[in-house]
Amino acid sequence: MIELQHLTIGYGNRAVLTDINQTIPDGQMICLLGANGVGKSTLLRTLSGFIPPLSGKVLLQGRELSSLSLSELSRSVSVVLTERVEVPNMKVVDLVGMGRSPYTGFFGTLSSEDRDIVGKAIEMAGIASLAGRTTDTLSDGERQKAMLAKALAQQTQVILLDEPTAFLDFHAKANTLRLLSQLAHETGKSIFLSTHDVEMALRLSDILWIVLEGRILSGTTDSLTQDGTLKRFLEPFELSDLQTSHIQGS
Amino acid sequence: MNYKLKLLTVLLALLAVANVLWGSLDIPVRDVWHILCGGEVEDHPAWSIIVLQGRLPQMLTALLTGMALGTCGLLLQTAFRNPLAGPSILGIDSGANLGVAIVLLLLGGTASIGSLTIGGHLLVIVAAMAGALSIMSLLIILGRLLHSGVMLLITGVIISYVTGSIIQLLNYSATEQGVFSFVMWGMGNFASVGPERLPVFCILCVLGLLLALLLIKPLDALLLGDRYAENLGVRIGRVRQLLLLVTGLLTATTTAFCGPISFIGLAVPHLARLTLGTSSHRTLMPATMLIGANLALACNLLSTLPRDGSLIPISVITPLIGAPVVLHVMLGQNRNTGI
């Protein structure tokens, strides 16, 4: 569980989002929605520990994020980023094995236990058939799943994903989000992701976080529909019919 | 141990022996063996000096230089995530050149590198080190601003031009002997270390190579990019500093003692990747060290080909081996990106 208390995030003197008070519970998939530039990536970077908060606290299982050592952090939070990882000669199984490096010794050699964990992570991500392929031969969707398997092998309570559905085709998007939702429910991990795929996020997420007018509003799709937040979020883009289709669908 | 690594080790032993047995002067194999066992050849007392103070230190120098430059290339290619990075292409050894030029041409004036005392020689190393480290720091800063690998390579070329023009200016105003010793140094020579400076050279190289081993695990993580590496618990800042120190130390040491030796640093990591078919530094780093040493020993053997007591400069031979590898890598990239 992650608690955000009076959290202000940004770079240097420039605050992007101020006074955030939210909770990311265990076992749920949370989708972060918002227009470009509202601070989605900044929030993810702050939660990953890449940049410090400007003020306020991020509590990870009750402990302040900034008080964790880099090694503790690497065993608590894993990330899937938008950077394209393409290493010739690196097999998917080796890439996923990199997720074990917070646990391995001086040269990073995997023990048989580590290899079991890697195998399970590959299976959970549904890419067993790709294990022997090199990363430069994967499609974008396959690569995204390989990075997810790396995050699973890292065995962290929290997985943060920055726009995991960008660059994917429609089927791969739905497939990825369903997989993430299923993983959150089955493993009890907190899975937190930013996305621009509003319709799928409305349908598949357990909790939505919407960045609107400099604030983060959270709730289930239904509760955000009822209090009018979704309407306010979608209207400027003339997409409010999505909301209706969701209600009709559900 | 991987059987390919074993083969490379056997090859290394063979080449090392060959380097002692053959040189620019014909000495019968039996006599070389006799000298190595502590004996002397009565008719030719000079042969002992040639074998023990010439060929043996030269073989060790070539071996360690090859290891050092190959390792530098591997570290730089992973750190910059650029297959064309290497100490010579990025202009790091031109920084060392400039440092040496300032010492030899401006400060030392008439001092030739062969007659330098150990103190003077240490000055050359310190100068080469300072030059190499300044260029490395500059590259690391620019690397953050320039995201394209091609831009970084162009920067390396520009750095080489600028240091080249400063060196020309220094040459212009230096004495004839200063210019001669600088030109001779610049041709690359594994023989210039000699038995008296060999301990210092060995200590510096081995130190650099051991420090490089500390980087094996973080380098693997760096293949995924800085952010991923950081998330896997790698202290990026500290790793970059150590990397800067190791490549600076190894490039500066080898350049100061043997002159600028191009292409080994660039080509060897690719040969290692091609041979081993892996991206893991646990295997790549020892393979790079072995292939680097093998290549340098082979170059050293080739340099004795004239058979008249003279040596072909090393920097004439290495580009002939390095250039095809660079072309191969560039063509491979072309296929991947479709540019």
Selected for mutation to probe chain B from A79, A89, A96, A111 (highest B CB count within 10 Å) is: A89
Measured distance CA(B212)–CA(B206) in Å, rounded: 10
What φ, ψ does residue A229 adopt, rounded to 5°?
-60, -45
> Given CB atoms, is B330 within the 8 Å cutoff of chain A?
no
The burial of B139, by beta-carbon neighbours within 10 Å (0-12 exposed, 13-18 middle, 19 or more buried), is given as buried
Task: For residue B230, give the nearest of A50, A85, A136 by CB distance.
Answer: A50
pLDDT at B337: 42
Report the greatest alpha carbon distance in chain B: 68
- Per the DSSP assignment, residues forming a β-bridge with A63 are A60
pLDDT at B149: 60
Cβ neighbours of residue B6 under 8 Å, at least 6 residues apart? Answer: none
Measured distance CA(B339)–CA(B331) in Å, rounded: 10
C-alpha closest to that of A205 among A169, A227, A230, A228: A230
Q: Do B273 and A89 touch (CB under 8 A)?
A: yes
Domains and CATH numbers, chain B: 3-337 (1.10.3470.10)
User: Contact at 8 Å (CB) between A98 and A177?
Assistant: no
> Bigger pLDDT: B259 or A242?
B259
> Bigger pLDDT: A127 or B90?
A127
C-alpha closest to that of B262 among B327, B185, B324, B319: B319
- Per the DSSP assignment, residues forming a β-bridge with A70 are none
User: Contact at 8 Å (CB) between A15 and A9?
Assistant: yes
Amino acid letter, A250 = S
For the ranges A179-188, B14-23, B168-177, B287-296, which has the lowest average pLDDT?
B168-177
Cβ under 8 Å to A: B residues 266-325: 273, 277-280, 282
**Percent of chain B with pLDDT strictly greater than 90:** 33
Q: Do B217 and A102 touch (CB under 8 A)?
A: no
Least CA distance to A77: which residue of chain B? B231
pLDDT at B333: 61
Check whether B323 has a pLDDT greater than 90.
no
First to last CA, chain A: 28
Task: Judge if pTM exceeds 0.90.
Answer: no
User: Contact at 8 Å (CB) between B152 and B90?
Assistant: yes
Q: Do B225 and A136 touch (CB under 8 A)?
A: no
Element (H, E) at A15: strand A14-24
pLDDT at B111: 43
- Per the DSSP assignment, residues forming a β-bridge with A80 are A161
pLDDT at B120: 64
Task: For residue B232, give the nearest of A90, A102, A106 by CB distance.
Answer: A102
Which chain A residues touch B233 with a CB distance below 8 Å?
Answer: 70-71, 73-75, 101-102
Amino acid letter, B42 = E
User: Contact at 8 Å (CB) between A246 and A225?
Assistant: yes
Measured distance CA(A7)–CA(B88) in Å, rounded: 48
ipTM score of the complex? 0.92
pLDDT at B46: 81
> Given CB atoms, is A111 within the 8 Å cutoff of chain B?
no
Measured distance CA(B100)–CA(B103) in Å, rounded: 5
Q: Do A85 and B225 touch (CB under 8 A)?
A: yes
pLDDT at A58: 96
For the ranges A60-64, A75-79, A113-117, B31-35, which has the lowest average pLDDT?
B31-35
Check whether A53 has a pLDDT greater than 90.
yes
C-alpha closest to that of B248 among B202, B285, B212, B294: B212
- Number of residues in chain A: 250
pLDDT at A28: 95
DSSP state of A91: B
Q: Do B224 and A95 touch (CB under 8 A)?
A: yes
Reported as a single tens digit per residue, the pLDDT across B241-289 is 888 789 888 998 898 888 888 889 999 999 999 889 899 999 999 999 9
Return mean pLDDT, chain A: 91
Which chain B residues touch A79 with a CB distance below 8 Å?
Answer: 227-228, 231
pLDDT at B339: 35
The 3-state DSSP composition of chain B as helix, strand, coil percent (nearest 5) reads 80, 0, 20
In this structure, the strands spanning A63-64 and A215-219 are unpaired
Q: Do B221 and A98 touch (CB under 8 A)?
A: yes
pLDDT at B148: 62
Measured distance CA(A31)–CA(A55) in Å, rounded: 24
User: Would you call A14 helix, strand, or coil by DSSP?
Assistant: strand
Interval A146-152 mean pLDDT: 95
A106 min Cα distance to partner chain B (Å): 7
What does the block give as tokens for B117? 């005392």
Check whether B202 has a pLDDT greater than 90.
yes
Give per-residue burial for B261-275: e unless 16+ CB within 10 Å, then b.
bbbbbbbbbbbbbeb
C-alpha closest to that of B20 among B57, B49, B45, B46: B57
Interval B185-214 mean pLDDT: 89
Q: Kindly give the interhelix angle for B92-101 and B118-145, rounded to the nearest 10 degrees.
A: 140
User: Contact at 8 Å (CB) between A199 and A249?
Assistant: no
**Percent of chain B with pLDDT strictly greater than 70:** 91
pLDDT at B310: 76
